[in-house]
């Protein structure tokens, strides 16, 4: 039994520990608030997007037209532009309306609304026409170039990037010493373009905790974040889940793959896709739930049945997939088995991984610009290398201790 003095001393230690814990919790809370303000901390101080003068806009327009017009056509265009500039009821009036629009409360950029409408009102199919792509550098570690290993690393690092966006700790982009707007990063994940009559809309879920995985045209989903917003799976668990998904997709007859390849409809003209999507959604509660789950996913991972032999082939696959017909009973013209059936082009972000580990990104352009995706791709690639080095270090320490 301890003496009374010993008990008293223990109580004092407990009191000091409680006080220290409270101070530590307070410090962490302050640090968390500071970190949360980091990504968007410069937003209120960003310079407004400048509106060029009317004469500069007209000069830029003529400069863009000149290579595409004959000398006669260009001369006529030049005369029309001169009239437009000098007539107070035309160019000058419109330019003043733009200046007035820019001064409206809540307008941070005169271009933003027009930019989104210009994309969302387009009725042509979005693959090739508007969706850009990036080819990712090959993983420099040969042991990690299999499809599942590469996909696991990319998913793991992408989720870390997503969490830094979600909690606001992503380091702001800078142009030399000038901070850049960071709001696009909040639209990179959990976002989808929804087809509509006349104009599309954007669906955004900032609290998404799952990803969608596509393999051979089949759509799967898996929870990757817990209720606390942190990654709830280890790299090993992610790898096991992806391997299980891949194995399951291989058991289907190729005709079944085509029948299940609903993602092909995202390559349609937007008016046609809007009608067909609504029919799909209304056909059953399960359909409606599945579409919502795809729309709200953090991103889509596409496990492709192809092994590009060059960067050009990887680029082609990332942009529009491959087209390949296979003979199948009941299909006179054959069955499409190319990677073109393994896409959901409406998603803001699709990570594509081939059988030989070659990888790329396809993204929907209406709410995301290229520089944001380039930053994402660069950070993710760097993190995959650093994570690999850290795992080697941990393994070496465990080996030494044993």
Nearest 5 degrees, angle CA 148-CA 151-CA 157? 140
335 φ/ψ angles, rounded to the nearest 5 degrees: -120, 135
SS3 (DSSP) at 292: helix
Q: Which residues have C-beta within 8 Å of that of residue 245, sequence separation ≥ 6?
A: 213, 215, 220, 222, 303
SS3 (DSSP) at 362: strand
The whole-angstrom separation of Cα 175 and Cα 183 is 16
**Are the beta carbons of 148 and 359 closer than 8 angstroms?**
no
Q: Which residues pair with 301 in a beta bridge?
A: 213, 351
The whole-angstrom separation of Cα 139 and Cα 130 is 28
Residue that is written with structure tokens 């790299």 in the block: 235
The whole-angstrom separation of Cα 349 and Cα 301 is 9
Burial group, residue 300, by CB count within 10 angstroms (0-12, 13-18, 19+): buried
122 φ/ψ angles, rounded to the nearest 5 degrees: -65, 135
Contacts 24+ apart (CB under 8 A), 13-21: none
Give the distance, in angstroms, between the CA of residue 237 and the centroid of all CA atoms in the same chain: 23
Burial group, residue 13, by CB count within 10 angstroms (0-12, 13-18, 19+): exposed
The whole-angstrom separation of Cα 110 and Cα 116 is 11
Q: Which residues pair with 194 in a beta bridge?
A: 201
* Residue 37 token pair: 């303000």
* Cβ-based neighbour number of residue 383 at 10 Å: 18
Active site residue 95: no
Choose the catalytic residue: 320, 365, 371, 399: 365
Measure CA of the first residue to CA of the last residue in the chain; give whole Å: 38
SS3 (DSSP) at 5: helix
List the catalytic residues. Answer: 365
């Amino acid at each position: 039994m301890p003496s009374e003095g010993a008990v008293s001393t223990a109580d004092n230690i407990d009191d000091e520990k409680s006080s220290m814990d409270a101070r530590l919790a307070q410090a962490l809370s302050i640090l968390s608030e500071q970190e949360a303000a980091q990504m968007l901390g410069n937003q209120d101080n960003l310079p407004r997007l400048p509106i060029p003068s009317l004469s500069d806009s007209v000069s830029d327009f003529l400069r863009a037209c000149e290579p595409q017009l004959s000398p006669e056509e260009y001369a006529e265009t030049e005369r029309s532009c001169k009239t437009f500039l000098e007539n107070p009821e035309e160019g000058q009036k419109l330019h003043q309306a733009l200046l007035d629009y820019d001064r409206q409360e809540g307008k941070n950029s005169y271009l933003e609304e027009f930019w989104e409408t210009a994309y969302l009102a387009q009725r042509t199919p979005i693959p090739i026409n508007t969706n850009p792509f990036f080819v990712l550098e090959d993983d420099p570690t040969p042991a990690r170039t299999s499809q599942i290993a590469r996909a696991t690393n990319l998913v793991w690092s992408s989720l870390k990037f997503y969490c830094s966006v979600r909690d606001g700790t992503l380091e702001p982009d800078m142009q030399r010493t000038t901070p850049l707007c960071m709001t696009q990063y909040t639209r990179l994940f959990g976002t989808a373009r929804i087809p509509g009559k006349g104009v599309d809309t954007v669906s955004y879920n900032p609290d998404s905790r799952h990803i969608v995985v596509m393999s051979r045209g089949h759509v799967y989903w898996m929870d990757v974040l817990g209720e606390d917003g942190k990654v709830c799976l280890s790299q090993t668990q992610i790898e096991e889940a992806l391997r299980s998904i891949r194995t399951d997709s291989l058991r289907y007859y190729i005709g079944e793959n085509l029948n299940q390849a609903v993602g092909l409809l995202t390559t349609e003209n937007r008016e046609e896709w809007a009608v067909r999507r609504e029919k799909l959604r209304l056909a059953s509660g399960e359909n409606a739930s599945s579409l919502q789950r795809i729309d709200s996913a953090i991103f889509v991972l596409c496990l492709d049945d192809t092994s590009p032999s060059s960067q050009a082939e990887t680029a082609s696959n990332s942009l529009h997939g491959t087209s390949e017909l296979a003979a199948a009973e009941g299909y006179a013209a054959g069955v499409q088995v190319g990677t073109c059936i393994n896409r959901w082009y409406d998603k803001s972000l699709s990570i594509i991984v081939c059988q030989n580990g070659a990888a790329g990104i396809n993204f929907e352009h209406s709410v995301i610009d290229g520089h944001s995706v380039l930053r994402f791709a660069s950070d993710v690639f760097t993190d995959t290398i650093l994570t690999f080095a850290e795992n080697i270090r941990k393994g070496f320490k465990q080996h030494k201790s044993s």
